């Protein structure tokens, strides 16, 4: 008998929601009743729809960590029309159609295409188990949504994944875990879960967020080719649909609901060096010294877990790091910011104030029988803060005050799935209880958001402590909306060629899932890297939004100089190129902050109408204009590249190519295959050892010119703080036009009040013959022409500059 009681209940029988009746409506939503389930259909913004089904008489609530209760402002003009057997809600040209008997929901985009239609038979519903109780089914009934999958649909996104870019025909599990070493395609769920898909069909895009932070599974046409299903272990059935119709629209709509990446401080875009661990103050000094000595730009060095006293968070090992404030001040003076790791586990130790205070205030997660939940992590037995509670998040955030005052610049949040050691690399049980907040929550209900709630607390804490600075917070784990609080690094990859390849589809899908600021460990974390792998990894890594070299304890050192020549020179050149690219990166960060567009983009993001881009896994775009195709195999110098529509120039040789073409790129070590789009000026800064180094060196607008025209943007501001919000920024549009033997580059008037340090700019034009004349604003001007490059230096002011070469 007792045994029966302990056995988990079977999943139960799926019961689709049947006939529904209208209860009431307001300007932008309908409320329907189907048995004991209430369903709400709402238009949140043009092209943004939300459906909520709340079983068993439960109240409406949408304040999951995906949105934190934030709702876009509903459009003023939603037209609600009665149809034969239901209703449509129309806004901005897209609509949601509701059939009442049985309740089935479908959507139409602005081009008239119907998508995301409920499966006629299965619709949405719940798994019922007669006799189940809170012990056998702690999360209640599992929920499921079944949508028709159209022939030819391709599905992308799904957050952090191994395997290819295109997730069509697969099953994807969303359950945050610290996976075993050596991520492979057969590993489904990793550290973070973003239950969001971006779908393309015939060039048109739409998105779907299945907002449930408990364990979830998407079946994207694997079990039944004509069905996409979305299922969670319990909770409410809430989903959002984004009508596109372009991938850019979908990302804008998705991030209107889940938030956008805040502008990071400029130093966080610089090169970063990490290792588990630089174990003493002198070791950290030496790394910093080597960077400067060897002329390798570097902005950040890291402190991994060994800086702490017995891995107690918010403490210092006074022996290994005596006078740590002096160390941090010294590093700062040399242009280094220091980022320190903080894990969620708090060592159970009666003499450790953080633990004692947390326990006394009841701030730790409890077990099902109301004891403190404990498990082992690095410090030994630990308790785990209940980040679901606002008070706990505030307390946790405040605990970083001393670190910031001591001179730490950023916080790296790790192990926050949470990862636990008993059993090895397990996580918290579903029946653990979060009861320090407004309501008591089973861990399983919010498992996928535990790490996200941690970094929410950290970001808010850093903002309280240093309100004039932009927080820099890194997270390993996350849920939909992570981008509001932290950037995401991909955890423990390996020093394998396969993982250099995997980084691309992984980061592209993360970007398509709203997290624009992301990156993998350069060189690979586990295992020993080699000189060639490190060099090739760096050739790729400097193009990531986050550029950090990191490796596991006990592995071969893999700092840029670790393998001697020619690898050190390749790493130096690549990291210097990253430094040059920062004005472009920063412009893309600002665009992402405004629109939700990824920084590292799959080709399909810009060319959705070209189905050949859908399988482009191992090349990517930085914004619109820079295409990068890294070498991901040892011993080779050639690789295939697909160039999309337009005219492209090889960065190193200036060779010109027409797009919509497969080509073979030659990419010897030190010259990764990089192509620039014609007539799209690329702003390049000077090489500095760090981003804080003051310089008035000129900015270069690099333009590859070809018959036709194009535009580009440059965005600048102070690189930290918030003055840009009151207009202290500088944005300018750069137009390039090549026609009738003349190339004209118009650097339009500066928008905003920020004034960059420099006084000179250089226009560097490739792809043209030596001109007989160059004018700047109509006046003849000096120029250099060498090796096919035209260089025009001119004083840069806030007003428009027109540079014409003929
Ligand atoms: C985890 C992290 C890794 C870190 C290590 C020690 O494995 O993913 O980056 O170095 O813990 O803190």
pLDDT number for residue 9: 60
Task: State yes or no: pLDDT of 4 exceeds 60.
Answer: no
Which atom of ligand 1 is the closest one to the Cα of 553? 10
Which atom of ligand 1 is the closest one to the Cα of 275? 10
What does the pLDDT look like over 365-410, one tens digit per residue? Answer: 999 999 999 999 999 999 999 999 999 999 999 999 999 999 999 9
Span 86-99, average pLDDT = 96
- CA–centroid distance, residue 492 to ligand 1 (Å): 7
**Residue 141 CB less than 6 A away from ligand 1:** no
**Residue 341 CB less than 6 A away from ligand 1:** yes
**Residue 109 CB less than 6 A away from ligand 1:** no
Stated length of the chain? 806
Containing structural domain, residue 173: 77-258
At 197, is the secondary structure helix, strand, or coil?
Answer: strand
**Residue 491 CB less than 6 A away from ligand 1:** yes
Mean of pLDDT over the chain: 96
Choosing from 412, 414, 415, 499 the residue with most ligand 1 atoms within 8 A of its CB, the one to mutate for a pocket test is 414
- Whether residue 125 lies inside any domain: the answer is yes
Rounded CA separation 196/206 (Å)? 11
Rounded CA separation 37/55 (Å)? 4
Span 539-550, average pLDDT = 98
- Whether residue 422 lies inside any domain: the answer is yes
- CA–centroid distance, residue 183 to ligand 1 (Å): 15
- Domain check: are 87 and 155 in the same one? yes
Transcribe 538-578 into DSSP letters: HHHHTTSSS-EE---TTSPP-STTTT-TTHHHHHHHHHHHH
**Residue 305 CB less than 6 A away from ligand 1:** yes
- Whether residue 425 lies inside any domain: the answer is yes
Span 665-676, average pLDDT = 98
Rounded CA separation 681/744 (Å)? 12
CATH number at residue 468: 3.20.20.80
CATH number at residue 124: 2.60.40.1760
Q: What is the pTM of this model?
A: 0.97
Active site annotation includes 417 = yes
pLDDT number for residue 186: 83
- Whether residue 71 lies inside any domain: the answer is no
Strands 337-342 and 300-303: parallel
**Residue 304 CB less than 6 A away from ligand 1:** yes
- Whether residue 610 lies inside any domain: the answer is no
Query: Residue 732 belongs to what H/E stretch?
Result: strand 729-739
76-85, 362-371, 626-635, 642-651: lowest mean pLDDT where?
76-85
Active site annotation includes 492 = yes
- CA–centroid distance, residue 474 to ligand 1 (Å): 12
Radius of gyration (C-alpha) of the chain in whole angstroms: 27
- Whether residue 112 lies inside any domain: the answer is yes
What residues contact residue 330 under an 8 Å CB cut-off, 6+ apart? 285
Choosing from 179, 341, 343, 345 the residue with most ligand 1 atoms within 8 A of its CB, the one to mutate for a pocket test is 341
Task: State yes or no: pLDDT of 8 exceeds 80.
Answer: no
Rounded CA separation 648/339 (Å)? 39
- CA–centroid distance, residue 451 to ligand 1 (Å): 15
- Domain check: are 213 and 309 in the same one? no
- Domain check: are 251 and 316 in the same one? no
Q: Cite the beta strand spans of 235-345 per DSSP E.
A: 237-242, 272-273, 300-303, 337-342
- Domain check: are 342 and 221 in the same one? no
- Domain check: are 98 and 206 in the same one? yes
Which atom of ligand 1 is the closest one to the Cα of 492? 8
pLDDT number for residue 75: 79
- Domain check: are 213 and 310 in the same one? no
- Whether residue 373 lies inside any domain: the answer is yes
- Domain check: are 94 and 170 in the same one? yes
pLDDT number for residue 643: 98
- Domain check: are 720 and 794 in the same one? yes
- CA–centroid distance, residue 552 to ligand 1 (Å): 7
**Residue 492 CB less than 6 A away from ligand 1:** yes
Task: State yes or no: pLDDT of 431 exceeds 60.
Answer: yes
Domain boundary among 258, 291, 319: 258
Task: State yes or no: pLDDT of 729 exceeds 50.
Answer: yes
pLDDT number for residue 131: 79
- Domain check: are 107 and 219 in the same one? yes
Catalytic residue among 256, 417, 590, 624: 417
CATH number at residue 727: 2.60.40.1180
Torsion of CA 491, 494, 499, 504, to 10 degrees: 30
Task: State yes or no: pLDDT of 77 exceeds 90.
Answer: no
For atom 4 of ligand 1, the residue with the nearest CA is 276
- Domain check: are 236 and 326 in the same one? no
**Residue 408 CB less than 6 A away from ligand 1:** no
- Domain check: are 318 and 215 in the same one? no
The DSSP letter of residue 748 is P
- Domain check: are 370 and 460 in the same one? yes
What does the pLDDT look like over 109-154, one tens digit per residue? Answer: 999 999 999 999 999 999 998 877 777 777 889 999 999 999 999 9
Domains contained in the chain, number: 3
Which atom of ligand 1 is the closest one to the Cα of 276? 10
Query: Residue 405 belongs to what H/E stretch?
Result: helix 401-406
Catalytic residue among 304, 414, 445, 559: 414
Task: State yes or no: pLDDT of 646 exceeds 70.
Answer: yes
**Residue 178 CB less than 6 A away from ligand 1:** no
**Residue 306 CB less than 6 A away from ligand 1:** no
Span 545-565, average pLDDT = 98
Span 256-277, average pLDDT = 98
Per the CB < 8 A criterion, the answer to whether 342 and 413 are in contact is yes
- Whether residue 40 lies inside any domain: the answer is no
Domain boundary among 426, 461, 489: 489
Torsion of CA 479, 481, 486, 491, to 10 degrees: 30
Per the CB < 8 A criterion, the answer to whether 271 and 579 are in contact is yes
Catalytic residue among 492, 590, 624, 764: 492
pLDDT number for residue 152: 95
| % of the chain beyond a pLDDT of 70 | 99
Task: State yes or no: pLDDT of 2 exceeds 50.
Answer: no
What does the pLDDT look like over 176-225, one tens digit per residue? Answer: 999 999 998 888 899 999 999 999 999 999 999 999 999 999 999 999 99
Task: State yes or no: pLDDT of 7 exceeds 60.
Answer: no
The model's confidence at residue 3, banded by pLDDT at 50, 70 and 90, is very low
**Residue 276 CB less than 6 A away from ligand 1:** yes
């Amino acid at each position: 008998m007792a045994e029966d009681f302990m056995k988990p209940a079977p999943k139960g029988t799926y019961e689709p929601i049947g006939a529904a009746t209208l209860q009431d409506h307001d300007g932008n939503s309908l409320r329907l009743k189907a048995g004991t389930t209430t369903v709400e259909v709402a238009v949140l913004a043009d092209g943004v729809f939300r459906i909520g089904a709340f079983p068993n008489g439960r109240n409406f609530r949408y304040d999951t960590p995906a949105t934190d209760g934030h709702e876009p402002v509903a459009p003023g003009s939603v037209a609600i029309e009665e149809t034969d057997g239901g209703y449509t809600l129309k806004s901005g040209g897209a609509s949601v159609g509701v059939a009442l008997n049985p309740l089935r929901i479908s959507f139409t985009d602005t081009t008239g295409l119907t998508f995301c239609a409920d499966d006629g038979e299965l619709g949405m519903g719940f798994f019922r188990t007669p006799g189940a109780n809170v012990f056998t089914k702690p999360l209640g009934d599992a929920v499921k949504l079944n949508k028709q999958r159209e022939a030819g649909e391709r599905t992308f996104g799904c957050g952090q994944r191994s395997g290819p870019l295109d997730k069509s025909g697969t099953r994807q599990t969303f359950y945050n875990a610290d996976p075993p070493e050596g991520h492979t395609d057969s590993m489904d769920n990793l550290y973070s879960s973003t239950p969001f898909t971006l779908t393309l069909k015939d060039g048109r895009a739409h998105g779907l967020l299945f907002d449930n932070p408990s364990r979830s599974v998407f079946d994207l046409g694997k079990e039944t080719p004509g069905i996409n299903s979305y299922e969670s272990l319990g909770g409410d059935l809430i989903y959002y649909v984004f009508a596109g119709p372009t991938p850019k629209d979908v990302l804008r709509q998705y991030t209107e609901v889940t938030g956008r990446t805040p502008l990071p401080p400029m130093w966080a875009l610089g090169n970063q060096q990490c290792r588990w661990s630089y174990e003493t103050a002198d070791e950290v000094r030496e790394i910093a010294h080597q960077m400067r000595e060897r002329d390798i730009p570097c902005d950040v060095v890291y402190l991994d877990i060994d800086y702490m006293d017995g891995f107690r968070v918010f403490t210092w090992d006074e022996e290994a790091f005596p006078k740590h404030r002096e160390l941090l001040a010294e590093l700062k003076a040399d242009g280094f910011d220091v980022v320190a790791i903080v894990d969620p586990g708090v060592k159970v130790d009666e003499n450790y104030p953080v633990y004692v205070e947390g326990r006394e205030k009841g701030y730790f997660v409890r077990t099902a029988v109301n004891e403190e939940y404990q498990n082992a992590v690095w410090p030994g037995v630990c308790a785990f803060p209940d980040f679901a509670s606002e008070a706990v998040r505030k307390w946790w955030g405040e605990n970083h005050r001393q670190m910031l005052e001591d001179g730490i610049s950023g916080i790296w949040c790790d192990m926050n799935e949470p990862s636990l050691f008993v059993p090895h690399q397990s996580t918290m049980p579903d029946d653990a209880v979060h009861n320090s907040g407004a309501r008591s929550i089973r861990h399983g209900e919010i498992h996928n958001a535990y790490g996200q709630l941690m970094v929410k607390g950290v970001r808010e804490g850093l903002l309280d402590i240093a309100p004039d600075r932009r927080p820099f917070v890194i997270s390993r784990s996350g849920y939909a909306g992570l981008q509001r609080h932290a950037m995401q690094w991909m955890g423990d990859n390996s020093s394998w060629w396969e993982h250099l390849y995997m980084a691309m589809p992984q980061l592209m899908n993360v970007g398509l899932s709203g997290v624009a600021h992301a990156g993998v460990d350069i060189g690979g974390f586990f295992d020993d890297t080699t000189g060639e792998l490190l060099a090739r990894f760096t050739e790729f890594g400097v193009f990531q939004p986050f550029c950090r070299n990191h490796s596991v304890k006990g592995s071969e050192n893999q700092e840029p100089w670790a393998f001697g020549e020619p690898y050190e020179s390749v790493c130096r050149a690549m990291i210097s190129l990253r430094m040059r690219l920062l004005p472009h990166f920063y412009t893309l960060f600002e665009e992402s902050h405004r629109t939700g567009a990824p920084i590292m983009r799959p080709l399909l993001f810009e060319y959705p109408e070209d189905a050949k881009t859908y399988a482009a896994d191992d090349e990517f775009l930085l914004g619109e204009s820079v295409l990068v195709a890294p070498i991901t195999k040892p011993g080779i110098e050639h690789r295939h590249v697909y160039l999309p529509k337009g005219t492209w120039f090889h960065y190193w040789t200036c060779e010109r190519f027409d797009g919509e073409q497969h080509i073979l790129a030659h990419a010897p070590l030190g010259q990764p295959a990089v192509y620039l789009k014609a007539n799209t000026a690329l702003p390049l800064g000077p090489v500095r050892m760090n981003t804080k180094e003051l310089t008035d060196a000129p900015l270069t607008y690099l333009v590859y010119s070809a018959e036709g025209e194009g535009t580009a943007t440059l965005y600048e501001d102070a690189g930290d703080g918030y003055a840009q919000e009151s207009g202290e920024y500088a944005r300018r549009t750069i137009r390039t036009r090549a026609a009738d033997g003349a190339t004209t580059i118009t650097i339009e008037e500066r928008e905003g009040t920020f004034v960059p340090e420099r006084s000179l700019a250089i226009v560097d034009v490739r792809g043209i013959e030596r001109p007989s004349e160059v004018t700047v604003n109509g006046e003849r001007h000096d120029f250099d022409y060498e090796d096919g490059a035209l260089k025009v230096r001119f004083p840069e002011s806030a007003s428009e500059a027109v540079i014409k070469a003929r």
